[in-house]
Amino acid sequence: MATEIIATTPETEIVSSRIFQVSRELLFKAWSEPDHLKNWWGPNGFTNTFNEFDFRVGGKWSFIMHGPDKGNYANECEFIKIEVPSIIAWKRYSKPIFQVVATFEEINKEQTKLIFKMLFHTAEECQKLRPFVVDKNEENFDRLEVELAKMM
């Protein structure tokens, strides 16, 4: 059952953003098509196995992230908001529990600003991850840049 995007404060969210030198449609495609998303999702060294990717509100995204140090991390998510080509949001059912809202803002036909927000219910939950995920999100964006170059 789809849920609403939770209201947050600066203490309960982690925000990363980057301007990509591609159209909004191409950037959205890299996020919304599993054949592209699986290639770049996650920090450096990670690979993905997608078990389910039902890209619709209420649809499930079930995947395993394979870490470079042998770890396997199951992720169970549900899409809660999709507006083509401007917003993708999902809720994680795997721990740690949080929501993700990715917005795609067209600067011009060749530039798109991505704003990636991780939303938590409490400041404590947010603070546990903040020291790790800011740099990892940048690694994720670097990998996305590589995938976008292949898509052009």
CATH number for the domain harbouring residue 84: 3.30.530.20
For 69-106, the DSSP string reads: TS-EEEEEEEEEEEETTTEEEEEE-SSSP-EEEEEEEE
- pTM, two decimals, is 0.95
Longest dimension (CA), the chain: 42
Assigned token pair, 76: 């169970």
Tens-binned pLDDT, residue by residue, of the chain (152 aa): 557 899 999 999 999 999 999 999 999 999 999 999 999 999 999 999 999 999 999 999 999 999 998 899 999 999 999 999 999 999 999 999 999 999 999 999 999 999 999 999 999 999 999 999 999 999 999 999 999 999 99
Does 102 fall in a domain? yes
Does 4 fall in a domain? no
Tell me the residue range of the domain where 115 lies.
10-151
Count the domains in the chain: 1
Assigned token pair, 94: 């795997």
